[in-house]
Structure 1
């Protein structure tokens, strides 16, 4: 998830959708999908996305609700999925699992006590995880809509940032501010939310604070990342000041008489992450909306009324933007 305090350092601005027409966006799939998964569970009755065997596929409703925004604004999404978990992130993953288990226990208690529907829905949304079935069905739906999928060897966000630096895509799409530390030139936040998205600019951020990429990563490490806890009492302004005064992370740590375990490895995870250098994208996509609809409603039994509007929007957008754009 990254450190949200990075927001106070980032150069941000709203960007009209008109300026994004014809662009390609590498979407951090796990980040985007989890947001839609939890929202769907919170606001949709569970029988609408639960199969007869009891398998929950709320992701299919979420994807159908979220994708139209791309098509309507003539934007080609490329969904980049995480590969293996980086060793240094194991502790964070374990902490999230423990937190989810606590929510699951609270959920069972709430159900036993016949708690109000709003509380139950809130707890259900907090217990969501990206199961094997959710991975499988999300890829199945994207395949039928001919949306490109990239399988990253490690962090999907790092792969997306790498593709953007190589100009294979125009933007990275994520809510995570760590895209800045990964050197993503232009990042879009809130891309499929209401209103215009927010643009986060890498080079402008470096210039704003007089930092190099390496120094920006050092600032992030001092504040804390997914891979390490920060130094107590060191927020964004203090971290920038320390790195400016002492040159780099090591100088800043010496000045604070502090130590961060594995700091050199953490630095490399941002500056030289494990990515696939041989990604080849096929961007002349041809969505098969009817096949996608049948996959969701017939094969997986999702209530048609929950996805009809989303599929209609996709169909309408293909006509409005010109079918030749997608074929």
Structure 2
């Protein structure tokens, strides 16, 4: 879901993938996986599957999109979520309920032959299982791509790595990493390319967008602490929907009037079980780790081919072609270029 602060962000710089060449980017792994699960589908919304019914849409997205990043000279570091904070349980329950409702509407649309509606609801109906997560980690390891296990929220860990300078930016469709302090956020990285507009036979080009935290703060005349307060007022994954009657513009006015969180939250109708100061402190000081390695490793090509083709029924010809590209990317990135870039 993510925090809804898009109205505050006007300074977006459109990029080409070539503009990010030579950079290490920390991707919110779960955000990326859900993008692949939503987009890699058949016309009726059914995900890619093996003959045994195993969903492989996410496997496809992780493998082919990551190979393309490497080909472009980008080193992605996938950051996986760890233990969720206790006050996120409400959001998790809401997501489960939303998926169940979407699944019912997906089946109804299929029954009446409305493929457009079916595809729309199918995108929200499926979940990332533990098996899919482990398979994706295996694919990335066999590709030689770094993965990081966060102790808590993946976006918090990605922001921590960016603040330390170990990666150039974070990547996600959500804005949360800005609240966690990431100096740069790239959106649309995992969905770059042609995209069909909902309900229309119209396709548009989607390019990566760079958002810089300092520009957002300066344009709005606020601090990162005030940005966190705005996020809490309009709603985060920890207080879904935000405070009733307060949108982004009103929230901006309030944080400029009441600069201390204790003053602000004592003056708004707070109706959530979780203490707002606890959410505020979590964004400021989330659990993170320095136990990670962002270096690219040599791909294990034979094992990767077996895993993709024999275990998950991908096209052998196409997988071999991509593995050759991965090997070439590794040679390029580790043959002097890596050291000179970083």
Q: TM-score range by the shorter chain?
A: 0.7 to 0.9
Partner of 2:63: 64
1:82–1:151 CA contact under 8 A, matched in 2: yes
1:287–1:326 CA contact under 8 A, matched in 2: no
| SS of 1:214 mapped into structure 2 | helix
The whole-number CA distance in structure 2 between the counterparts of 1:162 and 1:227 is 20
Spell out, residue by residue over 1:264-300, the C-alpha distance to the aligned partner (whole angstroms, 9 max, x if none): 1100111011112x32314142224453233111122
Partner of 1:213: 224
Rate the CA distance shift 1:135–1:258 in 2: closer, same or farther, 3 A: closer
Matched, 1:268 2:266: no
Matched, 1:135 2:133: yes
1:50–1:57 CA contact under 8 A, matched in 2: yes
Matched, 1:115 2:140: no
TM-score (norm 1): 0.87
1:42–1:125 CA contact under 8 A, matched in 2: no
Rate the CA distance shift 1:47–1:163 in 2: closer, same or farther, 3 A: closer
2:45–2:120 CA contact under 8 A, matched in 1: no
Aligned pairs for 1:157-196 (under 5 A) are: 157-192=155-190, 193-194=192-193, 196=207
Shift, 1:326, TM fit: 7.3
1:279 to 288, 291, 295: 291
The whole-number CA distance in structure 1 between the counterparts of 2:255 and 2:299 is 49
The whole-number CA distance in structure 1 between the counterparts of 2:294 and 2:178 is 26
The whole-number CA distance in structure 1 between the counterparts of 2:8 and 2:135 is 38
The whole-number CA distance in structure 2 between the counterparts of 1:102 and 1:304 is 37
The whole-number CA distance in structure 2 between the counterparts of 1:43 and 1:69 is 24
Matched, 1:12 2:12: yes
Partner of 1:27: 27
How many corresponding residue pairs?
Answer: 322
Higher relative contact order (CA 8 A, sep 6+): 1
Shift, 1:188, TM fit: 0.7
| SS of 1:188 mapped into structure 2 | strand
Q: Which deviates further from its counterpart, 215-224 or 308-317? A: 308-317
Partner of 1:94: 93
1:20–1:75 CA contact under 8 A, matched in 2: yes
- Structure 2, unaligned stretches of length 5 or more? 194-205
- Structure 1, unaligned stretches of length 5 or more? none
TM-score (norm 2): 0.84
2:30–2:80 CA contact under 8 A, matched in 1: yes
Rate the CA distance shift 1:19–1:109 in 2: closer, same or farther, 3 A: closer
Partner of 1:299: 311
Partner of 1:200: 211
The whole-number CA distance in structure 1 between the counterparts of 2:180 and 2:112 is 46
1:146–1:287 CA contact under 8 A, matched in 2: yes
Question: What is the root-mean-square deviation in Å for CA atoms of aligned residues?
Answer: 2.7
Partner of 1:232: 244
